[in-house]
Structures are given as C-alpha cells and as structure tokens.
Amino acid sequence: MHDTPHTLFSGLGVVLVLLPLTLQWRAHNTSTIFNLLWILVIDLVAFINSIMWWDNYRAYGLVWGDISAKVLTASPVCLAASSLCINRRLATIASSRSVMRHENMRMSKFLDIFIAIGIPLIVMTLSYIVQPHRFDIVEGVGVQPVIYRCLPAIFLVYIWPVILSLISATYGCIAVRFFVSRRRELRSLLLSSHSGLDVGQYLRLIGLASADLLCGFPVSVYYLFEASQNLRPWVSWNNIHAYWLRVDSYGPEHALRSASLSVYVLLPRWGPPLMCTVAFLFFAVGDDAAKKYHSWAQAAFHLISNKESETVAM
C-alpha cells in the first residue's frame, strides 16, 4: 500500500514547519516553540516510517520502532499539552493587572516545560504498563503502537489528551473573553508582560491553539470511545507482558479490512502534515515574517558581496 500523497505532504510539512519554528525560536516564545517542535517530531516520525516501510512490512529498525511507538502513543497528549501552554500564556497575559515579575516569568516557563515535555514523557512511560508487545508494522504505514484495551489503559493513556484539551479550551475562552473586553488596552498589556508579542501575534496564537483543538480533540474523543468498547480484563503484569518482545507485521490489507480500522490507522496520519501547513500559514506569511525574510536576504546579500570582494582582492 503506497500512500504517496501522505509521504509527499508529510515531507513537505517538515520543511514548512521549520520556517515558523525558526521565527519563534528567535523570539523566545517558549510555549509556541514546544507546540511547533512536537508537530515537527510527530510529522517527521510519520514521514520516516512511510519511507522505511514503503513496500514491505519486515521487522527491522527495532530501536527506531520503539521510539516511533512511544511518540505516536503520546502524540495526542503532546499536541494537547503544548496547546494548553499557549492558551494558558495568552489567558495569563490578557487577564493580568500588573507587570509580570521576572520570578513569575521563570516559574511560568518551568510550568510550560512540565506541561509540554513532562506530561507526554509520563504518558510514554505509563503506556508500557498496558503495552502487550513492542509494536506492529503495517506496510505503507510503518510502526503502529499497541495498547491492551483494558480499564487501566483508559486512565493511563486515552483520557489524558481529552482532559488537557478541555483545560486548554477553558484557558482559550478566558483569553478570548479578556481580549474582547480589554482589546483597547491589550497593546499596553502585551508590552508590560515582556512577552515579545504584538496584537497580531496574539491573535495568531489563539488561532493556532484553536486549530490544534479542532483537529486533535475530536480524534482524542474518538480514540477514547473506541478504547472503551469491549474492554478486556486485566489479569496480571506477567500476563500482559508475556510476549512483549514480539513484533507483529501486517500487509496492506490489514488497515483496509474494515472501515473502522481504516479510520483508526489511516486518518490520524494526516493530522501532523495538516498542522504543519496550518502553522506555516499562521506564522510564516505575515508582515513580521516578511520583515524577517527581508533581513535574512539582506544578510545573505552582504555575506555574498563580502565574499566576492575578498576574492577580487586576492
């Protein structure tokens, strides 16, 4: 099963998300950087998997498979957690009544690190408890994480992105509410918060976090609903992990044998390249981005001119 459009778009997505990531990295917008990094990592994993298992389902690259399985298992959590960081930051700025102190800014960054990095790593670790074997390989798709459908799996893996998305949506509503009620003084609020944001960037961040929620929340709810159907009993740790080193391989007909399985396996793959495109449209085509491109072009022109001058002088 050769999913050529997905491979092309996921590869293009890697390139597209690098531009806004570079801009946000220079601006030191921590929460946005985490969001773009997770989008990049998840899309890159899907892209590499689609190439490695383009026309085969052989069990090789096992270390990469283990890494891919953990990233894909926690991918809904990663996006929901990083979106939560963005919305929490926007709500904090919009609702503030005074200048944010340096200590509070540091604490806020540490909290962002815990939410955006710590929680996904916790979920990746906890998922081992309900992981019956290393992973599956599907031709044309690559690595598929495996979770034993039991009651502990609901609380260890599937419910996290739903909870984080609901908290993020609450912060998002607060940010929008204060923006509407305090829009005249928002410019001064952004300056006093030392956030490095202007009104346009503030609105784009709201748009990016909203897009994450619109794309990720329905998928997370669907996964939670599917995982809660036909739950199997938890017998024991040894029973679950008796054949943990096994890697199951499937041909292309596996993902197409039923409509529900096709949706479960194939549809989520389009989320990362879609989010890469959305991030590019939000952050890489605005006036501030155009100014950055102009400054980069000028710097490159001066560098080339200096090189030519040195060559002539020699």
Reduced 3-state DSSP string for the chain: CCCHHHHHHHHHHHHHHHHHHHHHHHHCCHHHHHHHHHHHHHHHHHHHHHHHCCCCCCCCCHHHHHHHHHHHHHHHHHHHHHHHHHHHHHHHHHHCCCCCCHHHHHHHHHHHHHHHHHHHHHHHHHHHHHCCCCEEEECCCEEECCCCCCHHHHHHHHHHHHHHHHHHHHHHHHHHHHHHHCCCCHHHHHHHCCCCCCHHHHHHHHHHHHHHHHHHHHHHHHHHHHHCCCCCCCCCHHHHCCCCCCEEEECCCCCCCCHHHHHHHHHHHHHHHHHHHHHHHHHCCCHHHHHHHHHHHHHHHHHHHHHHHHHHHC
Span 85-103, average pLDDT = 72
Q: Which CATH class is domain 4-283?
A: mainly alpha
Q: Over the stretch 18-68, which tens digit does the pLDDT of each residue have?
A: 888 887 887 677 888 999 999 999 999 999 998 999 888 888 889 999 999
Neighbouring-strand partners of residue 247? 135
Residue ranges of the domains in the chain?
A: 4-283, 287-314
Q: In this model, does residue 276 exceed pLDDT 60?
A: yes
User: What pLDDT, on the 0 to 100 scale, is given for residue 70?
Assistant: 95
Beta-sheet strand order (sheet of 135-138): 142-144, 135-138, 247-250
User: How far, in Å, CA of 308 to CA of 314, rounded?
Assistant: 10
User: How far, in Å, CA of 305 to CA of 107, rounded?
Assistant: 45
* pLDDT classification of 173: cutoffs 50, 70, 90: confident
Query: Between residues 252 and 229, which one has the greater pLDDT?
Result: 229
Closest C-alpha among 80, 3, 90, 5 to residue 39: 80
Q: In this model, does residue 238 exceed pLDDT 60?
A: yes
Q: Which of 95-99, 100-104, 181-185, 202-206 has the lowest mean pLDDT?
A: 100-104
Neighbouring-strand partners of residue 135? 247
User: What pLDDT, on the 0 to 100 scale, is given for residue 104?
Assistant: 67
User: What pLDDT, on the 0 to 100 scale, is given for residue 210?
Assistant: 81
Instruction: Say how many Å lie between the first and final Cα of the chain, rounded.
Output: 58
User: What pLDDT, on the 0 to 100 scale, is given for residue 67?
Assistant: 95
Instruction: Return the ∠ at Cα 27 (arms to 24 and 32), rounded to 5°.
Output: 40
Neighbouring-strand partners of residue 250? 138
User: What pLDDT, on the 0 to 100 scale, is given for residue 66?
Assistant: 95
Span 229-238, average pLDDT = 90
User: What pLDDT, on the 0 to 100 scale, is given for residue 21?
Assistant: 86
User: What pLDDT, on the 0 to 100 scale, is given for residue 259?
Assistant: 62
Query: In the predicted model, what is the mean pLDDT of the chain?
Result: 82
Which region, left, alpha or beta, applies to residue 198 given φ > 0 means left and ψ of -120 to 50 means alpha?
beta
* pLDDT classification of 189: cutoffs 50, 70, 90: low
Q: Which of 5-9, 72-76, 179-183 has the lowest mean pLDDT?
A: 179-183
Query: Between residues 198 and 249, which one has the greater pLDDT?
Result: 249
Span 135-153, average pLDDT = 91
Token pair listed for 120: 């996904």
Q: Are 119 and 233 in contact (CB under 8 A)?
A: no
User: How far, in Å, CA of 193 to CA of 59, rounded?
Assistant: 52
User: How far, in Å, CA of 51 to CA of 143, rounded?
Assistant: 11
Global pTM reads: 0.85
User: How far, in Å, CA of 141 to CA of 143, rounded?
Assistant: 7
Percent of residues, the chain, with pLDDT higher than 90:
34
Span 223-231, average pLDDT = 87
